Amino acid sequence: MESVEWKIVGEPVGYDGAVRAMEARVAAIRAGEARELAWLVEHPPLYTRGTSADTADLVEPARFPVHETGRGGRYTYHGPGQRVAYVMLNLRGAGRQPDLRRFVRDLEDWLIDTIADFGITAFRRDGRVGVWVEHPSRGEAKIGALGVRVRHWVTYHGVSLNIEPDLAHYGGIVPCGIPDYAVTSLVDLGLPVTMAEVDARLLVHFEARFGATVAAPGADISQTLVRHDA
């Protein structure tokens, strides 16, 4: 198995540009012209609408741009302080299994193991998509989201983990269509961690589950797309 390219982008990446870049990379992976890729970004504040979204869950349509997306799931929020990891793997490649349920579970476990390194127990809940923690005053709260798509067994989209986003920005939607639970972040839970610290642990646990990585060479795949979409 070839090492997976690992790329972290330091500037906000516009959502539509990110999707175009992912689709191009997925096609190249499928054609054998590019390595698999884990692409870590932040987005400017925005909402995305998944394939199962209910319009009633968009509480404030004019608050932030709303982007249609081909990933599964409902409405979610992306913005500064949230690590988004787009994972492009060939599940029919050497050393992998064409099992989408297992892949989703591996993504969940990747986040759960990362969060555990900061002394927080995270978990999954049947019937509630995502990764959850126990908040000291608000009960069970969501800290990580998942939304994946597969094209010819090459995955894209991926996961998000709340490190220090503005949690008030979730007020414009019903996050993932689940109205009765709060959203939280590592900093909201009292952990003064940085994005770089979390990225370092994400890398360790990614390699444990998905294989060795190598730093992506040269210019980022998004080059001119590392900006806010117009």
DSSP-derived letter for residue 204 is H
Please list the pLDDT of the chain residue by residue as tens digits (230 residues): 789 999 999 899 999 999 999 999 999 999 999 999 999 999 999 999 888 888 888 999 889 999 988 777 888 899 999 999 999 999 999 889 999 999 999 999 999 999 999 999 999 998 888 999 999 999 999 999 998 999 999 999 999 999 999 999 999 998 776 777 899 999 999 999 999 999 999 999 999 999 999 998 764 444 333 333 32
Angle formed by the axes of helices 195-210 and 100-116, to 10°?
Answer: 140
| Sequence spans of domains, the chain | 4-225
Specify whether the CB–CB gap between 109 and 140 falls below 8 A.
no
- pTM over 0.85? The answer is yes
pLDDT at 230: 29
Question: How far is Cα 157 from Cα 39, in angstroms, rounded to an integer?
Answer: 10
CATH number of the domain at 4-225, please?
Answer: 3.30.930.10
Specify whether the CB–CB gap between 50 and 147 falls below 8 A.
yes
Specify whether the CB–CB gap between 11 and 215 falls below 8 A.
no
DSSP-derived letter for residue 75 is E
Specify whether the CB–CB gap between 172 and 48 falls below 8 A.
no
Helix (H, G, I), strand (E, B) or coil at 209: helix
Helix (H, G, I), strand (E, B) or coil at 141: strand
pLDDT at 177: 67
Q: Give catalytic residues, as residue numbers.
A: 176
Question: How far is Cα 52 from Cα 2, in angstroms, rounded to an integer?
Answer: 34
pLDDT at 175: 79
**Other CB atoms within 10 A of residue 118 CB:** 14
pLDDT at 218: 60
Strands of 66-68's sheet in order across = 66-68, 46-49, 75-78
pLDDT at 86: 97
Question: Dihedral of CA 167/173/176/181: which sign?
Answer: positive
Report which of 170, 184, 180 is spatially closest to residue 120, judged by C-alpha positions: 184
Specify whether the CB–CB gap between 114 and 161 falls below 8 A.
yes
